[in-house]
């Protein structure tokens, strides 16, 4: 290590998966000790093992408290540009022997803790990430956003996870371009403070943010947004004239307002909303994914999007109340999205199309003239029904040259092999790729040709 150029050593030290190892590096050699103070990035992770030792009576006096270690490493690194403080398991189920004990040793959004080091390093700081232990932070309302906005004028990226955040003392941060709030209880019911204080955001991730009633995103420079809503707000409103990518996952809002005319990628997971309003025509939409119990209505909503080249569909399970699913037909897909190049169908979406086909959707009048790639997930409950419908699709869409078929892992080998043989025998010009799927697991593909079953 001593033979390496100093800038290379500093870069290596800056890229340590866990920067708490810097404390060990400093006692190895004088060179490492000196260079360790010049790292530009710290990634401080409290491991489960370290935390358990800090709580155990026989070892607790031997372990430096993690907050103390983190503070010392931060304050002795003179040119920091990026700081991340987190836990190996933020949802660790902690047991305290003393019922009166009220620890906050892993509550990193504590104003007292952050105030000890942030003002001293904020001048060069460009990225900050803090992740709490949820069991300690969920009932402690933190004003950390106020401390951050007071000190970090040049901050570009901010990430906070597993905390209860107040926006009372939050001040404008016009330089911030990326914000992630993950598993957060936020005291900003309509996101008014967020919109006002972060006007330059280009990337926004709101994942499992609770406490929202009628949230509105109104950000003129926003380009990428991921929004996962765990509660049931009255309405959702997004006005982002420069938004290019949107991933929206929500349950059942009363209304959805969407104004994003430049949107090119849209991933929408939603149960049937009571109303979808103010949705403009998406003249630039290339990729669309919909997961919903209301596929029929949503497909009609996007029927003007003639620019869509890749479509992915899945029918969500019905979660709330009595609801009769209105089926969607393959002919409707062909009509709504005539220029598709790739079609991806989840198992429940395929089953919906199968059922509609069995009720007479077999006119055979036209097909998708540009469709080249088909990716489909099969339950293969009714062999002949699935085979007949797949044959119909391939006969209608004669341009399909690549088909990726995933069959549920519980289907017995003989049935799976027979289905594969029929497909490859009748459609030899199609490049077939076979695989398995299971709920909760990543799709697994076999080889491109005949699989070994």
pLDDT per position as a tens digit, 89-108: 888 776 555 544 667 889 99
Please, is 379 exposed, middle or buried when counting C-beta atoms within 10 Å of its C-beta (0-12, 13-18, 19+)? Answer: middle
What 3-state class would DSSP assign to 407?
strand
Q: What's the average model confidence in pLDDT over 39-47?
A: 87
**Distance between CA 132 and CA 245 in Å, rounded?**
29
Higher pLDDT, 413 or 441: 413
Task: Output the CA torsion sign for 172, 159, 288, 293.
Answer: negative
Supply the pLDDT for residue 99.
44
Mean pLDDT of the chain: 85
Query: Residue 230: its pLDDT value, please?
Result: 72
pLDDT at 114: 97
pLDDT tens, residue by residue, 327-361: 788 988 888 888 899 999 999 999 989 988 866 55
Cβ–Cβ under 8 Å, residues 301 and 276: yes
Q: Give residue 14's pLDDT band: very low, low, confident or very high (50, 70, 90).
A: low
Q: What whole-number distance in Å separates Cα of residue 283 and Cα of residue 264?
A: 8
- Band (pLDDT 50/70/90 cuts) for residue 281 is confident
Among 18-22, 138-142, 393-397, whose mean pLDDT is lowest?
A: 18-22
Distances 97 to 47, 56, 94, 103, 172 between C-alpha atoms, Å: 21, 10, 10, 12, 43
Q: Would you state the pLDDT for residue 113?
A: 97
- Comparing 25-29, 89-93, 360-364, the range with the smallest average pLDDT is 360-364
Higher pLDDT, 36 or 224: 224
What pLDDT does residue 366 have?
58
pLDDT given at position 253: 76
Q: How far from each other are the two terminal CA atoms of the chain, in whole angstroms?
A: 51
Question: Averaged over 27-37, what is the pLDDT?
Answer: 59
- State the pLDDT at residue 322: 47
> What pTM was computed for the model?
0.87
Q: Which residues pair with 128 in a beta bridge?
A: 83, 158
Residues of the chain with pLDDT > 90, as a percent, come to 54
């Amino acid at each position: 290590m001593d033979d390496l150029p100093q800038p290379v050593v500093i870069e290596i030290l800056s890229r340590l998966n866990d920067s708490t190892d810097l404390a060990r590096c400093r006692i190895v050699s004088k060179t490492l000790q000196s260079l360790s103070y010049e790292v530009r990035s710290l990634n401080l992770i409290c491991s489960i093992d370290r935390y358990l030792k800090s709580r155990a009576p026989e070892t607790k006096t031997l372990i430096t408290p993690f907050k103390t270690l983190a503070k010392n490493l931060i304050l002795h690194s003179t040119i920091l540009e990026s700081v991340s403080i987190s836990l190996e398991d933020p949802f660790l189920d902690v047991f305290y022997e003393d019922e009166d004990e009220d620890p906050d040793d892993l509550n990193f959004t504590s104003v007292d803790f952050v105030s000890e080091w942030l003002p001293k390093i904020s001048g060069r700081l460009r990225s900050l990430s803090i992740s709490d232990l949820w069991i300690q932070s969920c009932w402690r309302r933190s004003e950390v956003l106020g401390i951050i906005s007071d000190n970090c004028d040049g901050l570009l990226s901010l990430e906070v996870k597993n905390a209860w955040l107040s926006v009372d003392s939050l001040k404008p941060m016009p330089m911030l371009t990326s914000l992630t709030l993950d598993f957060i209880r936020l005291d900003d019911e309509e996101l008014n403070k967020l919109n006002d204080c972060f006007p330059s955001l280009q990337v926004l991730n709101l994942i499992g943010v609770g406490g929202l009633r009628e949230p509105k995103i109104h950000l003129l420079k926003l380009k990428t947004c991921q929004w996962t809503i765990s509660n049931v707000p009255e309405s959702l409103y997004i006005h982002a004239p420069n938004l290019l990518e949107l991933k929206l996952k929500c349950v059942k809002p009363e209304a959805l307002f969407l104004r994003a005319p430049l949107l090119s990628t849209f991933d929408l997971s939603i149960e049937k909303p009571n109303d979808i309003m103010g949705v403009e025509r998406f003249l630039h939409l290339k990729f669309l994914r919909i997961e919903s119990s209301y596929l029929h209505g949503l497909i009609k909503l996007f029927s003007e999007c003639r620019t869509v080249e890749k479509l992915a569909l899945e029918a969500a399970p019905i979660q709330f109340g009595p609801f009769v699913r209105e089926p969607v037909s393959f002919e409707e897909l062909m009509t709504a999205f005539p220029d598709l190049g790739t079609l991806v169908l989840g198992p429940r979406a395929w089953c919906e199309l199968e059922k509609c086909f069995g009720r007479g959707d077999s006119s055979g009048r036209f097909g998708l003239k540009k469709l080249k790639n088909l990716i489909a997930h099969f339950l293969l409950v009714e062999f002949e029904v699935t085979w007949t419908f797949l044959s119909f699709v391939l006969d209608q869409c004669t341009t399909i040259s690549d088909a990726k078929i995933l069959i549920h892992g519980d289907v017995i080998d003989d049935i799976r092999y027979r289905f594969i043989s029929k497909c490859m025998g009748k459609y030899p010009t199609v490049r077939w790729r076979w695989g398995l799927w299971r709920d909760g697991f990543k799709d697994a593909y076999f080889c491109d040709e005949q699989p070994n079953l």
